[in-house]
Amino acid sequence: MKPYIAAYLRLSLDDDGPGESNSIISQRQIVKDHISSMPDLAGMSVMEFVDDGYSGTNFDRPGVKRLLAAARRGEIRCIIVKDFSRFGRKYLEVSKYIEQLFPYLGIRFISVNDRYDSDSHKGTSAEIDVPVRNMINAMYSKDISKKIKSAKRTQAAQGKFINAFAPYGYKKDGADKHRIVIDEPAAGIVRRIFALACEGHGPTRIANALNADGVPTPSGYKKTRGSHIAVRASARSSWLSGSVINILRDERYTGVFIGGKAEMGELGTGRRIRKPKESWLRVPDAHPAIITREIWDSAVANRGRHDGKHVKPNTGKMLYQRVRCGYCGHIMKHKKYGQYSYYNCHTPRYTDEYGCPRKGFRDESIIDTVKAAVQSQVTFMLDMERLCDKKEAVQNAESTQASAKRLEKEIEQLQTFKRQLYERYKDGTLDREEYLKEREAAESDMAAKTEERATLLTQCGKKAEALNSAHHYFRSFLEYQAVTEPSAEMVNKLVEAVSVYGKNRIEIRFTFRDELERAVKCLEEVRAL
């Protein structure tokens, strides 16, 4: 197989206008000109990989995935980018590819603007420059991320619409991208849904009525309007009760702007962290209302939900409304057939588009799996609690305090030495030049020891704080240390959702996943100090 040159192009954000962005076109020209200027590359075929609209803070990009797959298959001899930041902004991962994987595969890497060519920089000081540049790119991304978050929070507080897509029933104002206006055809359907809900019709009956009249779903409606964004459902998909519930829960139809429901986690993870409802941003009359507040209140009252959000009642039943279909995401129905109980997905009653299984799954099997997973997680938490050794923390603190006292004593001795120097200078036993020289040396030594003492105490405080934080969290699981059979109350407290894909695939989402991540991060900080 003939090897190729791979030209990789990336841009973080799409152009506002149609077609490819000018930046992608610019990158392509730079790479093309560089290839034509190098005799050893001229004549070789070029494969192009493009990620337009993808962040460089992780490698979860379709273009770069295809590039790396082709590289591992041996189809690529050389990779060319405009600069290191185009390939990626996480310096550890970028350096891993440039310094380890590509040399192992015999692939040459060229960064045009950085004037880097792996063939001509082997063993030179430029190899040191690569991780430094990549580190700067990573730091730049973090700084930009903070500024963008701050700007978006400011815009949200002002009631400006900052989401990528308008809710069903609205569209973005062509004159102001931070403002949404009513999209009348879809808004009519929203009003119909609320009217039916006010009359006492349930979500399933409303969905069936819309399907009977051939009303396109929100995703189907977007496609009829020429949306180029990939949507999970097809244009001919059916309304489901869940789709209706989502609309009935959306308070934005009353003209209220609601933002700050979630924030991005650590840069590059792509993870969104949900925030409590009381911390959401709410701006009344931020955009035109499709329904009145009275209609909203009436629909909510008829659905028996006083705040527009479904709250799991405390029935005492294990996994009550926590078991979901892994394919469509809807809550599975729990029914008893004969002497056994099963969980079934009802989405196939409406549509087969998601590929949901039609058969039921024994609740006993699901519950046994969840119980085992809960017990395993509790055991892990208790093991982590033991790692937060208080005795070790006290010993470390005592050792730090001893070192700090030693340094404090040495600083006092240096201060005494300075006074003695001055006295010797004043009585004439030490000339001025010698006095200034020794005083400068003493002051320099004092400054170094003072800084060392401050650093020791700061690190000790941070270490104790991080350890206490982690220890406090893991101690909350001590109430379960004697449990041999998880109860319904325990399982419901620790399990947020269970997604069932099939007999041999069940995914469990725990309620404490965010807290656990923070606690583990605290322990990592302790080890780093």
Residue 55 in this model has a pLDDT that exceeds 70: yes
Of the pLDDT bands very low, low, confident and very high (cuts 50, 70, 90), residue 63 is: very high
The answer to whether the beta carbons of residues 451 and 444 sit under 8 Å apart is: no
Alpha carbon distance 415, 409 (integer Å): 10
The answer to whether the beta carbons of residues 4 and 46 sit under 8 Å apart is: yes
Q: Please, is 244 exposed, middle or buried when counting C-beta atoms within 10 Å of its C-beta (0-12, 13-18, 19+)? A: buried
Q: What is the pLDDT of residue 243?
A: 85
Q: What is the pLDDT of residue 64?
A: 92
Alpha carbon distance 471, 466 (integer Å): 8
The pLDDT tens digits of the residues spanning 366-399 come to: 999 999 988 888 888 877 777 665 555 555 666 7
Q: What is the pLDDT of residue 262?
A: 63
Neighbouring C-alpha atoms within 13 Å toward the C-beta of 463: 21
Residue 308 in this model has a pLDDT that exceeds 60: no
Alpha carbon distance 193, 204 (integer Å): 11
Q: What is the pLDDT of residue 109?
A: 93
Chain CA centroid to CA 241, Å: 29
Q: For residue 94, give both structure tokens.
A: 């970028």
Q: What percent of the chain has pLDDT over 90?
A: 13
Which CATH fold would you assign to the domain 170-302?
A: Hect, E3 ligase catalytic domain fold (3.90.1750)
Q: What is the pLDDT of residue 50?
A: 93
The pLDDT tens digits of the residues spanning 243-285 come to: 898 899 888 899 888 776 666 555 444 455 666 777 677 788 8
Mean pLDDT of 442-471: 75
The pLDDT tens digits of the residues spanning 103-123 come to: 888 899 999 988 888 887 654
Nearest CA to 458 among 409, 390, 525, 515?
525
Of the pLDDT bands very low, low, confident and very high (cuts 50, 70, 90), residue 338 is: confident
**CATH code assigned to 4-155:** 3.40.50.1390
Q: What is the pLDDT of residue 404?
A: 82
The pLDDT tens digits of the residues spanning 408-432 come to: 889 889 989 988 888 888 888 888 8
Neighbouring C-alpha atoms within 13 Å toward the C-beta of 44: 26
Q: What is the pLDDT of residue 145?
A: 54
The pLDDT tens digits of the residues spanning 159-218 come to: 677 666 788 999 888 788 778 889 999 999 999 999 998 888 888 889 888 988 888 888
513-528 vs 363-387: helix crossing angle, rounded to 10: 20
Residue 9 in this model has a pLDDT that exceeds 90: yes
End-to-end CA distance of the chain: 51
What are the CB-based long-range contacts (under 8 Å, 24+) for 16-24?
20/52, 21/52, 24/50, 24/52
φ and ψ of 340, to 5 deg: -115, 155
